[in-house]
C-alpha cells in the first residue's frame, strides 16, 4: 500500500497519540462520564471496526476511536482504584514497608501497603521517631492504629500535593505515634503476585545497598552511587540535589535510558556470540527486567526497558532499531498498564528527551562538515554534543514549566557526568563481580569511591559558576504547548529548507 504521508510510516505513533488523547479526556471528564460508559464506547467502536473490514478508511478511523475510548476507560478505572474510600478515623491495620525509610527530623517517613484491608492501600506514612522506627527496613511488617486521611494540599502551596500523591497510587496519608504501632510478621498472600515480587526485589536491593556501606561508601558518595546504580535516592541531601539540578546533571541521578543503555552494553559484551544471538538477547532481556524490578520500576526505567526489549527484537530482524515506532510501542505498553504514568514528570521528561533525540540528533550532527566531523576525537565530542542539545530542546520547556529553571551550562555538565556515569556503572558491576577476591574488591571500591567524589566535586564547581542557572521562570500550560508547537514548526521549516538547498 502506498503511503500518502510521513506519519503513515509510523502506525504505532498514531495509536499512541489517540491513546494519550483518550487518557487526557478520561481524566478531565472523570466523575462526569462513568467507566461503564467509556467501556461501552470502546466495545461498540471495536465491534464496528471489525465489521468494517471492507472499508479501509472507515475501519482505520474506528480503530483510532477504539484506542481513544480505551485510553479514557483505562484512566477512569485507575482513578476509581486510587479514589477508594478512606475511613477518616482511627483504623487498625497490618501493613508492609515498601520504600526506604527516611529520617526527617522527629519522624521517619516511608510508604506502607496494607495487607488486611478489603483492597491493598498504599499509604504515605510519618512515624514518630524512636529506636524501633530507626530500624525499619523495606519488607518489615507492622501492626498499627492511626488516623487514615485522604491526601490534602499544604495551606498556601502552589504545588498540588494531593493530586501528586493520588496519581502516584497513594490512597491515604497517616501519622503514627510511638505507642500506636509495633513490628509484626504479616501475611502477604492477599497481595498480587506482581506486588509480592516487587517487594522481594526491593528487599534484595536493600541488601545490595548494605553491601555498598560495607565496602566503605558513606555520606553523599554513597548517596550518589546508590541513586545511579540501584535507583535509591533517599540518602541524597537537599544541598546535593540542588547542585545537580542547577548544573543540569539531575538526569544521572534518575535511572533512565543512559543507565540501562550502559548496562545493556555490558551484558552485550558478555553475550556477544553471533551463533547464539537469540539466546543471548533473551538472557540479556531477562537480566534487564530483573534489574528493573530491583530498582523499583520507575516510569523512566520502565520506558527504557520496554524500548530495549523492542530494540532487541528488531535488531534480530535487521530493522531500524531506534525510531518513532519503537518509542510509540514503549508508550502504548506503559500507558496501557498504568495510564496515570502520563502525568508523571519523569515519564514526560524521559519520552520528551528520547523523542527529540530521534528528531533532532541527525540534523544537529550534520551541522558540522563531514570532513571535520569524521576526525575520531571530534566525532565523539560532537556526537555527545548533538545528543545533549537534542535532549535539552525536548526537556527544557518541561523543566521551566515544573521547576522554573534553565541550566545554562548543561553542555559542560554532560561532558563531565556522562563519561563519569559510564565509569561508575562499569566500576560498580566489576566491583560486585570480584566479590570472591576481597583484596581486589577493596581496591576497586576505593577507586570507584574516588570517581564518585570527583564527580560530586565537578558538579558542585559547575553549580557555583556565575550564571549557572536562570531561576524564577514561570510559564503556564498553554505557553508550554505553544513552545512545543513552535519547536515542531521550526523543525518542519528547517527540514524543507534543507531539502530545497540540496
Per-residue DSSP letters for 86-132?
A: ---SEEEEEEEE-S--EEETTEEEEEEEESSSSS--EEEEEEE-SHH
Confidence grade of residue 377 (pLDDT, cut at 50, 70, 90): confident
Q: What is the pLDDT of residue 65?
A: 96
Residue 196 has φ and ψ, to the nearest 5°, of -65, -40
- Within 8 A by CB and 6+ apart from 32, the residues are none
Whether residue 260 is predicted with pLDDT greater than 90 in this model: the reply is: no
Looking up cell 563481580 gives 433
Mean pLDDT, range 47-61, rounded to an integer? 89
Q: What is the band of 315 on the pLDDT scale with cuts at 50, 70, 90?
A: confident
Instruction: Tell me the C-alpha distance between 32 and 348, whole Å.
Output: 26
Q: Which of 25, 49, 51 is nearest to 38 (CA)?
A: 25
> Residue 303 to residues 153, 228, 319, 346, 399: CA-CA distances in angstroms?
30, 17, 20, 10, 19
CA angle (203 as vertex; 198, 208 as ends), nearest 5: 120
Q: Evaluate if residue 332 carries a pLDDT over 90.
A: yes
Q: What fold is seen in the domain 90-191?
A: OB fold (Dihydrolipoamide Acetyltransferase, E2P) (2.40.50)
Band of pLDDT at residue 320, cut at 50, 70 and 90: low
Higher pLDDT, 45 or 313: 45
What's the whole-number mean pLDDT along residues 104-133? 93
Q: Mean pLDDT check: name the lowest of 142-156, 202-216, 310-324.
A: 310-324
Confidence (pLDDT) at 1: 43
Contacts of 493 (CB under 8 A, 6+ apart): none
Would you say residue 311 has pLDDT above 50?
yes
CA pseudo-torsion sign 9, 393, 352, 452: positive
3-state secondary structure 453-475: HHHHHHHHHHHCCCCCEEECCCC
Mean pLDDT computed over 258-283: 79
Q: Which residue has the cell 478505572?
A: 77
Q: Could you give the C-alpha distances from 426 to 198, 219, 436, in angstroms and in order?
A: 25, 21, 18
For the cut 60, the answer to whether the pLDDT of residue 235 exceeds it is: yes
Distances 52 to 12, 47, 64 between C-alpha atoms, Å = 20, 9, 13
pLDDT higher than 50, residue 3: no
Higher pLDDT, 350 or 154: 350
What confidence score (pLDDT) does residue 264 get? 86
Mean pLDDT of the chain: 89
pLDDT digits (tens, 9 = 90+) for 421-440: 999 999 998 998 898 888 99
> Could you give the CA distance from residue 14 to residue 147 in angstroms, rounded to a whole number?
46
Q: Where are the domains of the chain?
A: 6-82, 90-191
pLDDT(2) > 50: no
Determine contact, residues 169/122, Cβ cutoff 8 Å: yes
Q: Which of 223-232, 317-326, 374-383, 386-395 has the lowest mean pLDDT?
A: 317-326
Digit-coded pLDDT (tens) for 36-48 = 999 999 999 999 9
Alpha carbons 79 and 23: distance in angstroms, whole number: 11
pLDDT of residue 502: 65
Q: 353: number of CA atoms within 13 Å, CB side?
A: 19
How much of the chain exceeds pLDDT 90, in percent? 57
pLDDT at residue 298 above 90?
A: no
pLDDT for the residue 319? 62
Q: Which has more confidence, 316 or 358?
A: 358
> Could you tell me which of 242, 231, 243 has the C-alpha nearest to residue 428?
231
Q: What percent of the chain has pLDDT over 70?
A: 96
Secondary structure element (H or E) that encloses residue 176, with its range: strand 170-176
What is the DSSP code (8-state) at residue 358?
A: H
Q: Which of the two residues, 116 and 320, has the higher pLDDT score?
A: 116
Please give the grid coordinates belonging to residue 134: 530507626
For 54-98, give the DSSP string.
T-HHHHHHHHHHHHHHHHHHHHHHHHHHHT-----SEEEEEEEE-
Contact 473, 400 (CB under 8 A): yes
Burial zone of 141 (CB within 10 Å; 0-12 exposed, 13-18 middle, 19+ buried): middle
Averaged pLDDT, 159-186: 91
What's the pLDDT tens digit per position in 471-500?
A: 999 999 999 999 999 999 988 888 788 777
Cell (9 digits) for 186: 504479616
| Average pLDDT score over residue span 323-337 | 88
Mean pLDDT to the nearest integer, 136-145: 94
Other beta carbons within 10 Å of 191: 19
**276-304 mean pLDDT:** 85
Above 60 in pLDDT, residue 217? yes
When mean pLDDT is compared across 74-78, 258-262, 342-346, 443-447, the lowest value belongs to 258-262
Which pLDDT score, from 0 to 100, does residue 9 have?
Answer: 65
Q: Can you give the pLDDT at residue 403? A: 92
User: Cell 508547537 belongs to which residue?
Assistant: 485
Amino acid at each position: 500500500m502506498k503511503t500518502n504521508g510521513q506519519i503513515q510510516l509510523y502506525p504505532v505513533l498514531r495509536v499512541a497519540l489517540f491513546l494519550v488523547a483518550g487518557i487526557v479526556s478520561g481524566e478531565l471528564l472523570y466523575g462526569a462520564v462513568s467507566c461503564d460508559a467509556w467501556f461501552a464506547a470502546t466495545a461498540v467502536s471495536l465491534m464496528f471496526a471489525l465489521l468494517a473490514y471492507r472499508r479501509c478508511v472507515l475501519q482505520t478511523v474506528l480503530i483510532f476511536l477504539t484506542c481513544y475510548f480505551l485510553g479514557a476507560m483505562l484512566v477512569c478505572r485507575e482513578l476509581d482504584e486510587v479514589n477508594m474510600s478512606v475511613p477518616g478515623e482511627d483504623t487498625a491495620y497490618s501493613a508492609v514497608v515498601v520504600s526506604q525509610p527516611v529520617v526527617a527530623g522527629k519522624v521517619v517517613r516511608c510508604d506502607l501497603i496494607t495487607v488486611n484491608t478489603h483492597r491493598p492501600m498504599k499509604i504515605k506514612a510519618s512515624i514518630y521517631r524512636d529506636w524501633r522506627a530507626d530500624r525499619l527496613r523495606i519488607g518489615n511488617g507492622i501492626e498499627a492504629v492511626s488516623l487514615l486521611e485522604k491526601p490534602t494540599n499544604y495551606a498556601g502551596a502552589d504545588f498540588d500535593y494531593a493530586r501528586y500523591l493520588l496519581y502516584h497510587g497513594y490512597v491515604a496519608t497517616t501519622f503514627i505515634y510511638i505507642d500506636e504501632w509495633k513490628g509484626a510478621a504479616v501475611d502477604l498472600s492477599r497481595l498480587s503476585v506482581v506486588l509480592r515480587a516487587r517487594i522481594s526485589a526491593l528487599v534484595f536491593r536493600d541488601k545490595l545497598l548494605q553491601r555498598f556501606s560495607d565496602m566503605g561508601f558513606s555520606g553523599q558518595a554513597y548517596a550518589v552511587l546508590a541513586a545511579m546504580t540501584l535507583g535509591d535516592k533517599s540518602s541524597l541531601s537537599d544541598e546535593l540535589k540542588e547542585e545537580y539540578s542547577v548544573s543540569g546533571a539531575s538526569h544521572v541521578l534518575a535511572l533512565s535510558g543512559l543507565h540501562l543503555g550502559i548496562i545493556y552494553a555490558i551484558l552485550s559484551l558478555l553475550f556477544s556470540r553471533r551463533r547464539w544471538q537469540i539466546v543471548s538477547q533473551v538472557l540479556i532481556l531477562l537480566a534487564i527486567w530483573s534489574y528493573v524490578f530491583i530498582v523499583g520500576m520507575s516510569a523512566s526505567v520502565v520506558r527504557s526497558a520496554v524500548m530495549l526489549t523492542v530494540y532487541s527484537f528488531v535488531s534480530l530482524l535487521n530493522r531500524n532499531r531506534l525510531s518513532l515506532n519503537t518509542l510509540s510501542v514503549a508508550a502504548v505498553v506503559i500507558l496501557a498498564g498504568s495510564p496515570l504514568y502520563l502525568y508523571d514528570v519523569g515519564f514526560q521528561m524521559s519520552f520528551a528527551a528520547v523523542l527529540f533525540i530521534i528528531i533532532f540528533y541527525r540534523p544537529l550532527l550534520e551541522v558540522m562538515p563531514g570532513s571535520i566531523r569524521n576526525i575520531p576525537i571530534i566525532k565523539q565530542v560532537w556526537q555527545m554534543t548533538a545528543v545533549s542539545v537534542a535532549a535539552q530542546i525536548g526537556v527544557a520547556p518541561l523543566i521551566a514549566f515544573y521547576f522554573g529553571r534553565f541550566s545554562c551550562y548543561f553542555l559542560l555538565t554532560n561532558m563531565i557526568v556522562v563519561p563519569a556515569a559510564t565509569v561508575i556503572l562499569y566500576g560498580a558491576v566489576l566491583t560486585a563481580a570480584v566479590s570472591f577476591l576481597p583484596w581486589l574488591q577493596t581496591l576497586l571500591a576505593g577507586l570507584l569511591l574516588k570517581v564518585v567524589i570527583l564527580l560530586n566535586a565537578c558538579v558542585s564547581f559547575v553549580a557555583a559558576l556565575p550564571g549557572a542557572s536562570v531561576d524564577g521562570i514561570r510559564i503556564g500550560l498553554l505557553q508550554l504547548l505553544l513552545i512545543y508547537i513552535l519547536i515542531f514548526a521550526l523543525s518542519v521549516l528547517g527540514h524543507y529548507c534543507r531539502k530545497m538547498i540540496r
